[in-house]
Amino acid sequence: MSRFGSIFFIALAIACSGCQLTGGGTDAPDPVAAAIEQVASDPQRSEANRARNAYRHPVETLTFFGLEPDMTVLEVLPGGGLWYTEILAPLLAEDGRYIAASYDVSRPDLPDYVTRAHQALLDRFAEASERYGDLELAVLHPPTIALGPDESVDLVLNFRNTHGMIRAGAAEEAYAAFFAVLKPGGVLGVVQHRAGPDTDTSKFTGYVPEETVIALAEGVGFVLEAKSEINANPRDRANYEGGVWTLPPALRLGDTDREKYLAIGESDRMTLRFRKP
């Protein structure tokens, strides 16, 4: 049995351990969900990253987007934290393909945060090559966008990046590139900090109205297939002077009102599934 095949075998056994007999049958377990849970809870992930599971709901989110272990998946700008990367790469290492859309590091005078984020990605795959497989890189760094051949990807995942694309004036171009790289019937999964009635949308706060994201995706040809409240947080008022970075995990204000913001938790987020016709 292959290394990653064993993960799914173990995951299936875990899932089946909770099956209930009903009328001579069983409740069918979901081995993919069980495998996501196993990888998300893996002690090889840092304690801080595993603690984010409670806010980011990786099992429910990735199953909502339809992740399967044999897919070709492109993750948009995983950044330096690599939070979803360290779940996706092991899940896809055996039978699928993981592609990271990162920065164009050939540019001169890159900001430090860009250089650090890209290097963190390279380092993580070098350190965990046995679990993660080979790193495939694409570029999403307007004006340079090179995601790969048209109609070559099953699933594009865009976690908490749309606000930055809008600020840079590159959102429509980026979403059009997502559309082009996806196969017909492919899925774009979007999670984004969601503006509320008290959000000052004239400022760059990290929060975006849900209708803005939907219009952006539909404007380049996507069809909104489903919404989910998996990542909703009604405690988030989305009206902080320091924007979404006031909340954890950034906690931009440091010790000022720290317990208050920890009690709120991470931001209220839309979770949207779009399909390419």
pLDDT of residue 5: 54
Name residue, tokens 């017909």.
184
H or E element that contains 5: helix 3-16
Q: Is the pLDDT assigned to residue 18 strictly greater than 80?
A: no
Q: Is residue 30 part of a domain?
A: no
Q: Is residue 40 part of a domain?
A: no
Average confidence (pLDDT) over 217-239: 98
Whether the ω angle into residue 184 lies within 30 degrees of 0, i.e. cis, is no
Q: 143: which residues sit within 8 A by CB, 6+ positions away? A: none
Contact 140, 153 (CB under 8 A): no
Q: Is the pLDDT assigned to residue 235 strictly greater than 70?
A: yes
Q: Is residue 223 part of a domain?
A: yes
- C-alpha–C-alpha distance, residues 175 and 276, integer Å: 12
Rounded to whole angstroms, the maximal C-alpha distance in the chain is 67
Share the mean pLDDT of the chain: 91
Q: Is residue 19 part of a domain?
A: no
Percentage of the chain lying above the pLDDT 90 cut:
87
Q: Is residue 60 part of a domain?
A: yes
pLDDT of residue 109: 87
Taking the alpha carbons of 7, 9, 12, 17 in that order, is the dihedral positive or negative?
negative
Percentage of the chain lying above the pLDDT 70 cut:
90
- C-alpha–C-alpha distance, residues 105 and 137, integer Å: 11
Q: Is residue 1 part of a domain?
A: no
* Total domain count, the chain: 1
Higher pLDDT, 2 or 133: 133
Q: Is residue 95 part of a domain?
A: yes
Q: Is residue 5 part of a domain?
A: no
Using N-to-C axis directions, what is the helix angle for 3-16 and 85-92, rounded to 10°? 110
Contact 249, 56 (CB under 8 A): no
Which domain covers residue 85, as residue numbers? 46-275
Reported confidence tier of residue 2, pLDDT bands at 50, 70, 90: very low
Provide the CATH number for the domain around residue 202: 3.40.50.150
| Structure confidence by residue, pLDDT tens digits, 85-133 | 999 999 999 999 999 999 999 999 889 989 999 999 999 999 999 999 9
Question: What is the chain's alpha carbon radius of gyration, rounded to the nearest angstrom?
Answer: 19
pLDDT of residue 14: 46
Average confidence (pLDDT) over 63-69: 98
